[in-house]
Structure 1
């Protein structure tokens, strides 16, 4: 090979070697740079890791301290809980001992209660007897819108106040009135209790309630509302009623009358002593045009005719009503439902004095009997005899649609193994009327005549009793004959006089108060309790 060619290849490989040397030197420099950078990163990573480890250690110490604190707190609470449990266990033992002591005290107190209950019964009835077997209360109704409309024009222009009847205190009534062409009136009457126009139904019943206690003790009780038409007798006895349909008296209402409140109290007293096993039977009659109508009787006739019942004389001058329906009730709601159905049958008529004037005397009787002994035959009613209907009532009066069911029974015949414990009679008398004021005519005038005559007969009976006459004219009216054992017998009688405060009705008010004053003078024998045996008609 030529020397020139060899020289060129020598220079090429020399240049190539230099080039590769430079590349190796650059790579080595790059490696140095990378190692330097790697060392810096390692340093930074070591510093960050050291800081993280330090922070983690601090956090761990904080968590540990918190855990330790919670552990100590929990241990303290457990120790306190154990201590409290020990104390409570000791207290429980003490309470058990105290409960045993209290139970023994309760038994002793119950024994004393039973003794005091007997003493209370005796003292209560002595107190009632000291007040008199016939007690008279007076209730003054408030002025109503129609009172102002009915006032005479001459009296409206007078400076004399419209109210002429005032409750001086709880026992005194003042009637003070000056009228043109009439002598001035300034009369005072005293009664056992006087209710002003603002006093509530609850206040009235509060004075009735003790009589129901006497009833549960075995004494016969009668509560009677007396007064002029439109003076609040039915409101006092039954509660408010709408013109078309009676308000259900068992509904909760602050204006409930004596009847629904007495029904509730009666069953409350019975429930307090279930060992006596008292049963309650109800009969409802009205005395209309001097005839007695059984409002619970069920027969095929219309409500307008109604079955007629006759009063029969029995031994000891007492009376019973032949085949009078008597229906058992087991609660105050049943009692009031039965009464509500009967009230729809009661005769009413709109007059100038009252839009719903009662044209009959309503008598609701609740008879308390002892339950038959175990194993004795079940109670049953004898079949009702064929009943004679009265003729249709005069067109002047009306009856509401029939709304109650009835099962016939006999009042005179007692059920097997039963005895009468006591009787409660609630009497809503028809109102006395002045024909010139009420404006009635025709058949309604005949009704008014019967009403006034029966009330006059009631006054005659009380007058005879007050004067202690040898003959008491019970037979002058079916009303007084039916109530004979109440008026002259051993029942505890409460008469509630209902009067109007109006000047226009002052004459009727004076007559009503005079009736109450005479009733207070009646002196009868002490009321008797117990269970009278059935009486046989003579």
Structure 2
């Protein structure tokens, strides 16, 4: 079988070579004819040149097809060789199996013959019986040995039978393998015959395709050659007429070539001139834009200065807004997009997208989430330093729980907030003004927890404190028994803050893991004395960290947390009432409705520089609380208080003019009380012509409110209501 396949393969290879030679000869003849035709028609304007090119492309296409056929034929030949090798291997394997089978059969026949011969010899031999006289023990021993030999022979016989059975099994396996190999050989022969038939068909198709292409090429070449010869005479005539036009074109070409040689230098000169003009224009525009930018910045700074001065003169509460950044846990949640946007040109505007609407809030300053603690403090440090000059300053943080109020006011150890930075700045300013000025800085820390005042610097902060008017006649509020610690270094500040933070009430809610459950006030009093001028100053700085406003259902407050939340919301509501009254310029402002508003009365009554830091969250889930906080901040910003006054006195004078007028009015009122009690009060009491000052309101608070306007339940500090009626009838014009 392998020899026949080899012969067929040799015949196919010879036939393939013959076809290749014929195809190459046909190609060479066609190319020669086409070259002859192209030589006879060398004119570029010959209309048959394109047809010749088409024929060439078609010939190249047919060549490509022939190459593809050759590749296919080579692949078929390779497959045929592989099959031949495989068949040869199978034939060798079959021969080896047959040889091994013959050897096994020969061995089995030899063994079988040996066994038959032995059996025949044993059967033919006569039985020999030899009587050996022996004892019973010897007989038993011989019988045992014979029995053992018999067992050994039986085992050998069984082994021989098993070996015979295995040889038969191997013989059957070899026969089955031989049958399978014969079947595979038949299949491979069929595949080789099919491959040979396919190869013959392909060769026949290639031959027919080659003959057809050659015939078509011959026919087209002959027709094209006839057309070329027919048009050649006309082309030659056209060439004679085109010679004058060619000379004209040559002259034009030479002139254009000369112009093209001169064009690069002209172009370079034009480009240089254009670049100079453009650079001049750019420099002029740049200088103009720089001038305009500087003017714009100067105008913006001037506008802010004028606005701040106007706010200071009108006594408005300045309002800053700080947007806290989104935490890592909030970024991983689905509700991590922010609904706030900022104005890149104006740092005082904040935009909020809420319920499909964009709301605009204009404040004094807006800090984006990336603003640092240092940037925030730079905006408020001018207020802090004015405390040294004798002004009362109040900075309080307002916003919902978890919006970053405590972080802004207190910060962390590595990045402190306004509280620590303010005290450090005060120490730096005090060191600069030494030795002309001698200052004393005292610090107190108070919290309002469930409407109870607690001293955070006491060993037992649970003791209840009260708010009273200062008995020195200044009209200022103070807390009797409040711990005041004199600080002289930043180390003292850290000790005070550690003690206060340890005693402050915090708890975990659904909105904040470390929620402040109380209002915390850091009270800093700076007293200064100038020995050269004999001048004394005293300023007070209130730094307030308000507890966060929260919705009960959203924060999940229960039990004691619920009571804390109710007290916090009540005090913040009272703060809103005070702001509304101040904004409407009502005659009565309900400061005493809450411990918080009563303690902040000095900061909200016009004798203080007040700054509100409203904190908002950028998350859409907190938009309603953020909008409420910003609306409240705008209302606070529109409140106009009296301009802040500086508290100072000269040591050569017993008191300031304002203090003298207040003391005179106070003595006059007490005289009226004495005359009323002794029934010696005349019908008309002369009223001193004194201009009313902010201290007059403090005096009125100190002596007791007007009965018909009072809603407070504080203990009486003056005469009975009947006496008050008579005094208000005589002195109403002075108090009002």
TM above 0.5, one fold?
A: yes
Cα distance in 1, alignment partners of residues 452 and 417 from structure 2: 27
Cα distance in 1 for residues equivalent to 2:625 and 2:447? 23
1 CA distance for matches of 2:561 and 2:535? 44
Preserved contact between residue 167 and residue 195 of structure 1 (Cα < 8 Å) = no
Matched, 1:231 2:427: no
Distance in 1 (alpha carbons) for counterparts of 2:575 and 2:452: 15
Distance in 1 separating the partners of 2:610 and 2:399: 16
Equivalent residues of 1:284, 1:294 under 8 A apart = yes
How many aligned positions are there? 345
Q: Deviations over 1:366-423 (max 9, x none)?
A: 101135989xxxxxxxxxxxxxxxxxxxxxxxxxxxxxxxxxxxxxxxxxx9965101
1:132 shift after superposition: 4.5
| Structure 1 residues not aligned, in runs of 5+ | 1-121, 179-183, 241-246, 248-252, 375-416
Matches within 5 A, 1:5-404: 126=309, 129-130=312-313, 132-147=315-330, 156=335, 162-168=337-343, 169-178=346-355, 184-240=356-412, 247=413, 253=414, 255-274=415-434, 275-298=436-459, 301=460, 306-313=462-469, 318-370=476-528
Match of 2:707 in 1: none
Larger helix percent: 2
Displacement of 1:126 in angstroms is 4.8
Residues 369, 418 of structure 1: 8 Å contact kept: no
TM-score (norm 1): 0.60
Residues of 2 paired with 1:329 and 1:176: CA distance?
47
Q: 1:420 to 1:324 in 2, by over 3 A?
A: farther
Query: For residues 268 and 226 of structure 1, do their structure 2 counterparts lie closer, same or farther at Cα, with a shift above 3 Å needed?
Result: same
Once the two structures are superposed, the pairs formed by residues 387-466 of structure 1 within 5 Å of their partners are 421-466=538-583
State how far apart, in whole Å, the 1-side matches of 2:647 and 2:529 are. Answer: 15
Change in CA separation of 1:149 and 1:449 when aligned onto 2, cut-off 3 Å: farther
> What displacement does 1:459 show?
1.1
What corresponds to 2:123 in structure 1?
none
In structure 2, do the counterparts of structure 1 residues 128 and 215 end up closer, same or farther at CA, with 3 Å as the change threshold?
farther
Distance, in Å, in 2 between the alignment partners of 1:332 and 1:418 is 27
The question of whether the paired residues in 2 share the 8 Å contact of 1:352 and 1:438 is answered with yes
Q: Check the 8 A contact 1:457/1:480 in 2, yes or no.
A: yes
Q: CA 1:316 to 1:519, structure 2 compared with 1: closer, same or farther past 3 Å?
A: farther
Secondary structure class of the residue paired with 1:421: strand
Higher strand share: 1
Secondary structure (helix, strand or coil) at the match of 1:461 reads helix
Rounded Cα–Cα distance in structure 2 between residues aligned with 1:267 and 1:364: 16
Distance 1:453 1:360, change over 3 A: same
C-alpha separation between the residues in 1 aligned to 2:432 and 2:475?
35
* 1:131 Cα deviation from its structure 2 partner: 7.8
Deviation at 1:440, TM superposition (A): 1.1
**TM-score, normalising length: structure 2:** 0.44
Q: 1:523 maps to which residue?
A: 640
Query: After alignment, is 527-536 or 268-277 more displaced?
Result: 527-536
Per-residue Cα deviation, 1:442-482 (whole angstroms, up to 9, x for no partner): 11001000001101111111111011011101011000001
What SS is found at the alignment partner of 2:509? Answer: coil
Distance in 1 of aligned mates of 2:432 and 2:531: 21
- Contact kept, 8 Å, 1:133 with 1:491, in 2: the verdict is no
1:460-499 to structure 2, matched below 5 A, reads: 460-499=577-616
* Deviation of the 1:270 alpha carbon: 0.8
| Offset at residue 430 of structure 1 (A) | 0.5
Q: Is the 8 A contact 2:311 2:318 kept in 1?
A: no
Decide whether aligned partners of structure 1 residues 213 and 280 sit closer, same or farther in structure 2, where only a CA change above 3 A counts: same
Partner-residue secondary structure (3-state), 1:143: coil
CA–CA separation in structure 1 for the residues paired with 2:409 and 2:589 = 28
Give 1:511 deviation, angstroms. 0.9
Quick one: distance in 2 between partners of 1:331 and 1:271? 11
CA distance in 2, matches of 1:140, 1:224: 16
3-state DSSP of counterpart to 2:562: helix
3-state SS of 1:505 partner: helix
Q: 1:515 to 1:457 in 2, by over 3 A?
A: same
5+ unaligned residues in a row in structure 2: which ranges? 1-304, 650-654, 660-697, 704-736
For 1:193 and 1:284, locate their aligned partners in 2 and report how far apart those are by CA, in whole Å: 28
Structure 1 residues 525, 227: closer, same or farther in 2, change over 3 A? Answer: same
Deviation, 1:204, is 0.3
Structure showing greater Rg: 2
CA distance in structure 1 between the partners assigned to 2:536 and 2:594 by the alignment: 29
